Structure 1
Amino acid sequence: MKKLTVLNQVVSSNTLTLSVLVCSALSSTVFAHDIVPATAQSNSIIFKNATVHTVIDGVKHNTNLFIQDGFIKAIGPEISAPEALIFDASNKHIYPGLIALDTSMGLVEVEMMRPSNDSYDIGLSNPQLEAITAFNPDSEIIPTVRVNGITHAQVVPQGERLAGQSALVSMDSWTIEDALVPSTMGFHLYWPKQGALPQDEKKREKQLKQHRKDLKQLATIFEEGYRYSLASKAKKLSKQDIRWQSMLPLYQGDAQLFVHANRQKQIEEAVSLAKQYGFKLVIVGGYDAWRLCELLNEIEAKVIYTKTLSLPMRKDEPLEMSFKIPALLKQANIPFALGFTSDWNSRNLPLAAGQTVAYGLSKEEALQSITLDAAKILGAESMGALAPGYAANLVISGGDILDPMMTKIEKVYIDGREVDLNNRQQQLYQKYLKR
């Protein structure tokens, strides 16, 4: 694992902005799996007689899928490619690779060991920090997650306020450069929480005062960034600051602001901020987002809902409330995808999506929420669906991928490369069978 710290430097305008990276490596092999990444696809493949879940064109039964050079070339009952290898997929299901949103994949190895947790840094304003620089493509957790059909993950920094920038990564790579997948730049802001107000007036006022202070700190951060962007646009910068320099794409409309917020008041305050500066807004968490459909749709905000397997946030809500919210978001026409805030536990993403089917979403909508909709929110083109021109990110299963009892995932392909599904848990299982 790598430990990354970026030291802010303010330098004159005629000097390059420097990011000082201080890295230290942990020598323990506990933090590196021994699964060799797959080589680039060299042979064309036709999967014959499969049930293909295209996501964008329905479910096609007893059909063929042709992949070549890492991309899907054709889908249909009659495909001719004499040079292609033939894989009999009779009675098999082919799904797009799943995309796990809001994860700390590759940033955390053992949660209780601080040296193996690179998910956050100190300070309230760290927009210049990039999660990808601390990503460990050799994490033992990665093989245990992709065996559940997850081929890509959004790696997200954590923090108190403005935590840094996320990245979309492949779940099979040698290096950081190999792992990184082009996507829209995203900054992550953790909105101040305000719990239930106490009845005691002094305690109530103290809590409200603290919340006002937190909001004022946020306002100052974004106002300073805005002034810097105006000066940059007018070419009147007297000095460069890597914090505000990194945020220029956000003010220019080329990046998204991911605001981690669940309660209605938090979301309303976040929308107010987005309106003020014209930010492209994505709400992460989004428990109360369905209550604010008009407000969110007004600014074309999106939602990454992460509370599917959580308990209700209020005592007077029905027990199944968390399961129903994706259907409520769908009814409110709010663009959304499902996420799972975790590292190793993000393997439960397909289970979370399957749970929504029992509470209002169709199977096709639930699958779309963890594939194509996730890709759209991240601005990742040619991902999340099975169609000609899309990347050959495939999951071949003997059963329903949204049902853990029936899934039976047999093969996973990333960009047409067959990924080794061996992992530490399976190795230990085989080891203790021999005891």
Structure 2
Amino acid sequence: MRYFVQTLAIGLSLISTSLLAHDMVPAAPQNQAIVISNATVHTVTNGVLASTDVRIEAGNIVEIGSQLATEDAQVIDATGKHLYPGLIALNTSIGLVEVEMMRPSNDSYEVGQSNPQLLAVSAFNPDSEIIPTVRVNGITHAQVVPQGNALAGQSSLVSLDSWTIEDALVVTPKQFHLYWPTQGRLAIDDEKRQQQLKQYHQQLESIKSALQDGYRYYLAANANKIDKIDNRWQAMLPLYQGQGQLFIHADSSEQIEQAIAITTPYRFKLVIVGGYDAWRVAEQLNEIGASVIYPHTLSLPMRKDEPIEMSFKVPNLLKQAGLPFALGFSSDWNARNLPFAAGQAAAYGLSQDEALKSITLDAAKILGIDDMGAIAVGYKANILLSSGDILDPLSSKIEAVFIDGRQIDLNNRQQQLYQKYLKR
């Protein structure tokens, strides 16, 4: 029996190890200018330009126009094709989860209520088998987010083509994540109902206490009166100093209003993640300059009495309410459906341009980045070439992806298996 258990453990370990790495080699730095010619360019910032050239040098877009010089450049003929900015997937666990049902390959969650010092990216696996399957749909960057209770840690933006974590990291303001407690359906029994309410109140008080402790530590740091460093509150100093953002995971109006009331005294820069009801409390959110990451476009309605298409309509409701927002997709491998979520939002009120912007430029802005998410001079050359509309699952066919001017290998495990079984 002992031999069987040991053999099984070794076998599972080998399987887990084989699943954790892909064999696509990261692209080398760009060493020659590239001109993509005669494309339909979806700039995001300047509309759609027909039959236009884009010149890339040293990982940046340096020129956009007609009949650009090509003597010293690699030329890619994009006649009849579409050029888009690379897509930015927000609120994902890409690189943290390999197989959801295998606990050893899931590093997205940490126990405890106050872990603001934890960096989700420290567990990021740049060799994840999931990454090539995601970027083949045009996703060049992902926000890697910790999961947990209350103050769960910090997220980071990463490139999806790198050798190491250090190579992958994109510099942004600090990103702290706070998961707001949810109040489930109350029990009919009075005693049980009171227990539920008490537990929920305790969770709120715990959040208040943590934020107050962090603020007192911040005041002590300003006065040079810290006798003993506390890693939790030391990590949160940028947030109190206005150099970071607090991402609050909340969906209902009640949760969002509670979050605003409790955090307003600290003047945090807030981003509501979830935000199903954010349009209902838009006045309060606009007053404090908050943004929204909405990841539910392809989900069922939150309430039974809502129309089946309610989740599809929320992005347009956010737009009408004047709230800065971007679309996300809270998943690992399933984040590849991000462009199709934007397409669904376009079918229910957003324009095509607004839908594309919600997964490119608007996503970059929410993360505090000003040189990604558009095809414009001075921006990073994170772009993708497609023979069809990338927001349409029927016509989308991405032929090339560039990250910082480097053309990425679009091979992946699914394509390898497809080719394998063609030969059967």
TM-score of the aligned structures, taking structure 1 as reference length: 0.93
Shift of 1:382: 0.4
Matched, 1:416 2:395: no
> Which ranges of structure 2 fall in alignment gaps of 5 or more residues?
1-12
CA distance in 1, matches of 2:386, 2:60: 19
Matched, 1:214 2:203: yes
Shift of 1:27: 7.7
Shift of 1:78: 3.2
Tell me if structure 1 keeps the 8 A contact 2:116–2:153: yes
Counterpart residue number, 1:187: 176
| Partner-residue secondary structure (3-state), 1:240 | coil
| Partner-residue secondary structure (3-state), 2:229 | strand
Matched, 1:196 2:185: yes
CA distance in 2, matches of 1:322, 1:312: 5
CA distance in 2, matches of 1:246, 1:342: 26
Counterpart residue number, 1:301: 290
Q: Quickly say closer, same or farther: Cα 1:173–1:25, change in 2 above 3 A.
A: farther
Matched length: 412
Shift of 1:196: 2.9
CA distance in 1, matches of 2:380, 2:84: 12
Aligned counterpart for 1:100 among listed residues 89, 96, 107 = 89
> Which ranges of structure 1 fall in alignment gaps of 5 or more residues?
1-23
Identity over the aligned pairs, expressed in percent?
A: 66
Counterpart residue number, 1:13: none
Matched, 1:287 2:276: yes
Counterpart residue number, 1:17: none
Aligned counterpart for 2:37 among listed residues 33, 37, 48 = 48
Aligned counterpart for 1:91 among listed residues 80, 99, 105 = 80
Aligned counterpart for 2:306 among listed residues 304, 312, 317 = 317
Shift of 1:278: 0.8
Shift of 1:86: 1.4
CA distance in 1, matches of 2:15, 2:235: 29
Matched, 1:159 2:117: no
Tell me if structure 2 keeps the 8 A contact 1:274–1:280: no
CA distance in 1, matches of 2:93, 2:387: 29
TM-score of the aligned structures, taking structure 2 as reference length: 0.95
Tell me if structure 1 keeps the 8 A contact 2:19–2:98: no
CA distance in 2, matches of 1:304, 1:212: 26
Counterpart residue number, 1:428: 417
Shift of 1:184: 1.5
Letter in 2 for 1:151: T
| Partner-residue secondary structure (3-state), 2:356 | helix
Tell me if structure 1 keeps the 8 A contact 2:126–2:165: yes
Counterpart residue number, 2:326: 337
Counterpart residue number, 1:3: none
Matched, 1:383 2:372: yes
Matched, 1:230 2:211: no
Tell me if structure 2 keeps the 8 A contact 1:157–1:163: yes
Shift of 1:199: 3.8
Counterpart residue number, 1:4: none
Counterpart residue number, 1:18: none
Shift of 1:68: 0.8
| Partner-residue secondary structure (3-state), 1:315 | coil
Letter in 1 for 2:170: V
| Partner-residue secondary structure (3-state), 2:62 | strand
Letter in 2 for 1:347: R
| Partner-residue secondary structure (3-state), 2:265 | helix
Aligned counterpart for 1:147 among listed residues 133, 136, 139 = 136
Residues 102-123 of structure 1: per-residue CA shift (max 9 Å, x gap): 0001000000000001111111
Counterpart residue number, 2:6: none
RMSD: 1.3
CA distance in 1, matches of 2:319, 2:16: 48
CA distance in 2, matches of 1:132, 1:390: 24
Counterpart residue number, 2:347: 358
CA distance in 1, matches of 2:16, 2:256: 43
| Partner-residue secondary structure (3-state), 1:124 | coil
CA distance in 1, matches of 2:247, 2:355: 22
Counterpart residue number, 1:405: 394
Shift of 1:26: 9.6
Residues 206-227 of structure 1: per-residue CA shift (max 9 Å, x gap): 2211111110111111111111
Residues 410-431 of structure 1: per-residue CA shift (max 9 Å, x gap): 0000000000000011101111
| Partner-residue secondary structure (3-state), 1:427 | helix
